[in-house]
Amino acid sequence: MGDHGSKIEISFAGSFASSAIAASFAELCTIPLDTAKVRLQLQKKAATDAMAMPKYRGMLGTVATIAREEGMTALWKGIVPGLHRQCVFGGLRIGLYEPVKSFYVGENFVGDIPLSKKILAGLTTGALAITVANPTDLVKVRLQAEGKLPPGVPRRYSGALNAYSTIVRQEGLGALWTGLGPNVARNAIINAAELASYDQVKQTILKIPGFTDNIFTHLLSGLGAGFFAVCIGSPVDVVKSRMMGDSAYKSTLDCFVKTMKNEGPLAFYKGFLPNFGRLGSWNAIMFLTLEQVIANATFVKKLFAREVPA
């Protein structure tokens, strides 16, 4: 990924397929941490008892609580819409990144692409991709948010497909795009942070004597991308999760104001460690897988690649 002298150019179809495979594999590996993150973000400070202990405490504590109360499989709640999301969102945002970046700098550009153009390309592809994939994100959050229920209380949804149909039937088709505003903001920002920082960190590392375009470089660049993404995107991520998981908020601004008023500014960084644990590992796995798929999958090259002048 990125402009590092490759003589093989992968078409959009090949890039989309490779990105979808890599993003889906990373999602499958890291969704337990994402479930913990969502539960921590949706957990509100008790209004009536200031001394009440929160149910979920820390990443590992949250994972342990969910596994103990609901079973290990509960950690993979939302995996089906999660994979739906990554096939659509991951394929589009990453697959479109290189052509959009080339569009912004022009066909005849020579040299290192400026960081500003990389950020702009990331913002653009993130916003476009999540606009298409928002329904999958909504269903994923709704399934992840549902914890252990009292005996006799039925679950809202029996599964991902039931969730899609139930939401449309009860709330209307437009409800599938609930939280689109903060979701576009969140994913455009995080996508720009991930893709631009991965591109930039990798480019910088490869200029250091002794470093080559190998697995170690991909891992370092992926972890760096995850760290920047969490630092920049946590506030909008919290607002997005709360709007999708709780219908009490009227708008993005309403959610932001109520969260700030009731819980303070640190509430916007709730779940920071599980979020970094998840996004750091997710990016490391995803970019490593993506680089390996593009470099080693002969069938992808045969189907989709074309030679370009060096």
pLDDT digits (tens, 9 = 90+) for 225-271: 988 888 887 887 788 778 877 777 888 888 889 989 998 988 888 76
**Model pLDDT, residue 144:** 80
| Residue 44 reports pLDDT greater than 70 | no
Give Cα separations from 4 to 116, 200, 204, 206, 213 (angstroms): 18, 11, 11, 9, 9
Residue 76 CA to residue 28 CA, distance in Å, equals: 8
Per the model's pLDDT, the better-predicted residue between 106 and 125 turns out to be 125
What is the band of 46 on the pLDDT scale with cuts at 50, 70, 90?
very low
Q: Where is average pLDDT lowest: 22-26, 103-107, 155-159, 306-310?
A: 306-310
DSSP conformational letter for 53: P
Residue 289 CA to residue 283 CA, distance in Å, equals: 10
The 3-class SS string of 71-119 reads: CHHHHHCCHHHHHHHHHHHHHHHHHCHHHHHHHHHCCCCCCCCCHHHHH
What is the band of 302 on the pLDDT scale with cuts at 50, 70, 90?
low
**Model pLDDT, residue 306:** 54
Count, residues in the chain: 310
**Model pLDDT, residue 243:** 80
CA nearest neighbour of 234 among 196, 181, 178, 185:
185
As a whole number, mean pLDDT of residues 25-40 equals 87
**Model pLDDT, residue 28:** 92
pTM of the model: 0.75
What is the band of 87 on the pLDDT scale with cuts at 50, 70, 90?
very high
Share the mean pLDDT of the chain: 84
DSSP H or E stretch at residue 307: strand 305-307
**Model pLDDT, residue 310:** 47
| Residue 8 reports pLDDT greater than 70 | no
| Residue 153 reports pLDDT greater than 80 | no
Residue 268 CA to residue 253 CA, distance in Å, equals: 13
**Model pLDDT, residue 6:** 45
**Model pLDDT, residue 39:** 83
As a whole number, mean pLDDT of residues 270-294 equals 84
Give Cα separations from 158 to 20, 42, 72, 154 (angstroms): 26, 21, 18, 9
Instruction: Please identify which residue in the block is written with the tokens 């500014």.
Output: 265
Side-chain-facing half-sphere of 208: CA atoms under 13 Å = 8
Q: Where is average pLDDT lowest: 47-51, 175-179, 254-258, 291-295?
A: 47-51
